[in-house]
């Protein structure tokens, strides 16, 4: 066996061992989660931190996807109308207005100002697109089936955002749906 082959085998064995050890619950993950310079939650509760690291992938995907939907909604509905908010279904307007009132009460929190679109949930965003399909979403999104596909993700989104993990299979479902959206909407 050549030195290159031995080095490659050594590296592969090391990577396999590293993955095996990382799955052991009590082993501290590589990634830290600091409360302060002295308190690393990865050392205190390694299994919880490991699960949080895994859940963060799904959270990041939804963060980007929902932010993107908000931008599309404001952009499309602002083209034809002075105020995009006027085209939002009344039930969604009512729910968002209630959230705005809560935001006012909690003004002591450092949230900064948030516009109405940032207070809409994923189902509400999809509803706005669906209800206003002929207002320009038929051109921007082009395939109404994407709305239904995204609706199937709402339960997974809520699971992640309520601090539970999902399986790798479900994470792949999220990724595939988002690939479909970005492939069609932003070719």
User: What burial class does residue 116 get, using C-beta atoms within 10 Å of its C-beta: 0-12 exposed, 13-18 middle, 19+ buried?
Assistant: middle
Of 45-49, 108-112, 155-159, 172-176, the poorest mean pLDDT is in 108-112
- Distance, in Å, from the CA atom of 140 to the CA atom of 75, rounded to the nearest integer, reads 10
The predicted structure's pLDDT at residue 113: 67
Confidence of residue 3 (pLDDT cuts 50, 70, 90): confident
Q: How many Å apart are CA 49 and CA 55, to the nearest integer?
A: 10
Domain spans, the chain: 45-185
Q: How far is CA 174 from the centre of its chain?
A: 9
Identify which has the larger pLDDT, 54 or 22.
54
* pLDDT one-digit tens code per residue, 137-166: 999 999 999 999 999 999 999 999 999 999
Alpha carbons within 13 angstroms on the beta-carbon side of residue 151 total 12
- pLDDT at position 9 over 80: no
**d(Cα 97, Cα 31) in Å, to the nearest integer?**
40
DSSP structure string for 8-51: HHHHHHHHHHHHHHHTSTTSPPSS--BSSSS-BHHHHSHHHHHH
Biggest CA–CA distance in the chain, Å, is: 73
Mean pLDDT of 104-119: 81
Q: Rounded to whole angstroms, how far apart are CA atoms 57 and 41?
A: 19
Task: Report DSSP state, residue 152.
Answer: T
Least confident range of 87-91, 103-107, 154-158: 103-107
Here the tokens at position 131 are: 């209800």
């Amino acid at each position: 066996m050549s030195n290159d082959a031995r080095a490659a085998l050594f590296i592969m064995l090391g990577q396999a061992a590293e993955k095996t050890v990382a799955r052991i619950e009590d082993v501290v993950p590589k990634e830290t989660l600091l409360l302060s310079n002295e308190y690393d939650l990865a050392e205190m509760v390694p299994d919880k931190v490991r699960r949080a690291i895994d859940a963060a992938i799904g959270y990041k995907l939804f963060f980007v996807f929902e932010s993107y939907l908000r931008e599309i909604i404001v952009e499309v509905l602002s083209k034809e109308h002075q105020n995009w908010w006027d085209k939002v279904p009344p039930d969604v307007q009512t729910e968002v207005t209630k959230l705005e009132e809560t935001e006012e009460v909690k003004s002591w929190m450092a949230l900064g100002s948030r516009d109405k679109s940032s207070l809409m949930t994923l189902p509400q965003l999809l509803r706005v697109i669906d209800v206003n399909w002929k207002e320009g979403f038929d051109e921007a999104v082009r395939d109404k089936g994407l709305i239904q596909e995204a609706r199937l993700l709402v339960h997974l989104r809520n699971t992640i955002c309520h601090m539970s993990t999902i399986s790798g299979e479900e994470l792949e479902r999220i990724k595939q749906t988002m690939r479909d959206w970005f492939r069609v909407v932003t070719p």
